[in-house]
Amino acid sequence: MTAQIIDGKAIAQKVRQEVAARVSERIAAGKSQPTLATVLVGDRPDSAAYVASKQKACAELGMGSVHCPLPADATQEEVEARVRELNADPKIHGILVQLPMPAHIDEERVLQLINIEKDVDGFSPLNIGRLAQKGRKPLFVPCTPYGCIYLLEESGVKIEGANAVVLGRSNIVGMPAALLLISRNATVTVCHSRTRDLPSVVRQADILIAAIGRAEMVRGDWIKPGAAVIDVGINAIPDATKKSGRRLVGDVNFEEAKEVAGYITPVPGGVGPMTIAMLMKNTLHAAEIQDP
């Protein structure tokens, strides 16, 4: 048995095309151009690359983007002042503060400042709180978990009634992913570094979302035959055959797992493309809320 490969690039492209069409319709109707503001504190190369890719996506889909860089030694007050300015600007529909920020910045205070209607990353405690409560809906869902669930649904994986295991409990991926699965009537187990006999727990999963940040930690014999495996991990490991001397792998040993699973995402090309696609979808939604 070889798993069906879930093509994140193709599904993300479909989302992007739908967003671009709706953006075009909005602008033709004389409504505001959906616009994303990115706040980057410092000059981490990886963070700068992520921000650049988000700006590029905005341009490709006909959306506006405003970049707000701040030096690495910016004060808490300066960062908060920038967020307040963006909250007050009616031309800005979404605000994304690139994480991580320098250690001297209180990230929680900054994120709490973002207007809930502009919280396109879905990290506001108000949005997460709504996600956690039965019968309530957040305005925005964090982009990577949103992408994970979208991949499952687009691939025809039945979530309702499934036993789901989420490997990792971060605020950015693990916990929101668990809440999204619960909202779709899965029975969810969240695993972490102190989970006893981790392989046997994972083996019960009809759906596995792996977001632990350890290269190829999940082996093929951990996977239940026919399970759907969504691999969020992006880890660089040495590879002398590559020009860079390394290659990217997920948290799941893909070659082993694909011989057991029913569905699996590759790394790269699985969850990664979905994160920016869902950010674009969230930014369009923000514009629709603020300028219906």
- Condensed to tens digits (0 to 9), the pLDDT of residues 126-172 reads 899 999 999 999 999 999 999 999 999 999 999 999 999 999 999 99
- pLDDT for residue 178 is more than 90: yes
Band (1; pLDDT cuts 50, 70, 90):
low
All domains in the chain, ordered by first residue: 31-116 (3.40.50.10860), 142-272 (3.40.50.720)
Provide the mean pLDDT of the chain: 96
Q: Which of 98, 251, 258, 281 is catalytic?
A: 98
* pLDDT of res. 258: 97
Contacts of 58 (CB under 8 A, 6+ apart): 35, 36, 64, 65, 280, 283
- Condensed to tens digits (0 to 9), the pLDDT of residues 45-98 reads 999 999 999 999 999 999 999 999 999 999 999 999 999 999 999 999 999 999
- Angle at 78 (CA atoms; ends 73, 83), nearest 5 degrees: 125
Assess whether 121 carries a catalytic annotation.
yes
Q: Which of 119, 121, 206, 231 is catalytic?
A: 121
- pLDDT for residue 284 is more than 90: yes
Assess whether 112 carries a catalytic annotation.
no
More confident residue, 125 or 98: 98
Q: Which of 54, 224, 258, 281 is catalytic?
A: 54
- Mean pLDDT, residues 109-124 taken together: 94
pTM recorded for the entire structure: 0.94
Task: Report helix angle 45-60 to 272-290, nearest 10.
Answer: 60
**DSSP H helical ranges for 1-101:** 8-28, 45-60, 76-88
- pLDDT for residue 241 is more than 90: no
- Which stretches does DSSP call E strand in the chain? 4-5, 35-41, 64-70, 94-97, 163-167, 187-191, 207-210, 228-231, 235-238, 246-249, 263-264
Band (30; pLDDT cuts 50, 70, 90):
very high
* pLDDT of res. 193: 86
Tokens of 188: 């969810």
Give percent of the chain above pLDDT 70. Answer: 100
Cis peptide before 100 (omega within 30 of 0): yes
* pLDDT of res. 66: 97
